[in-house]
Amino acid sequence: MIKNLLLVALGGGLGSALRYLANVSVTKIWPSKLYYATFLVNIIGCLCIGLLFGYFQKNQTDHQTLKLLLITGFCGGFTTFSAFGLENYNLLQTHNYSTTLLYLGLSIIIGILCVGLGIYLSK
C-alpha cells in the first residue's frame, strides 16, 4: 500500500509541476486568457491518458506499477479532467448512455455551483 501511494504521489507531483509550467507558458502567450491554459492542459491530459490506457490495453499488460505512476499519478496530477474523460469514454463503450449524460451534466453543473458556493461561504 505504501509503495502504491508513493508511486501515485511521485506521478502526481510531476503532473502538477508540468501543469504549472504549461499554465505559465500559455499565460505568457495569452496573458488575459487563463482558461486557454486550462483548456490546453485538459485536452493534452485526455490525449495522454488515452494513449496510456490504449497502450496497456493493446499490449494486454497489467503493469500496475506503471498504471499507478502514469495514469493515476501523472495524468491525475496534470489534470483530473483526463480521468473524467476516461470514465465517460468507458461508460460510452459499455453503452451506458443515460449514465454518461447524467454524470457529465451533474459533474459540470454541480461543480460550477460548488465553486460559487465555496466563494460565497468564504466571504
Summarised one tens digit per residue, pLDDT across range 40-81 is 999 999 999 999 999 998 888 778 999 999 999 999 999 989
Q: What is the pLDDT of residue 90?
A: 94
Helices 2-29 and 34-58, packing angle to 10 deg = 140
CB 74 within 8 Å of CB 44: no
Q: What is the pLDDT of residue 61?
A: 76
pLDDT surpassing 80 at residue 33: no
The answer to whether 65 is annotated as binding is no
Q: What is the pLDDT of residue 38?
A: 87
Q: What is the pLDDT of residue 27?
A: 87
What is the span of the domain harbouring residue 47? 2-122
Give CA–CA dist 99/90, Å, rounded. 11
Structural domains of the chain, count? 1
Contacts of 73 (CB under 8 A, 6+ apart): 7, 8, 9, 10, 11, 12, 13, 14, 15
The answer to whether 79 is annotated as binding is yes
C-alpha cell at position 102: 447524467
**Per-chain mean pLDDT for the chain:** 92
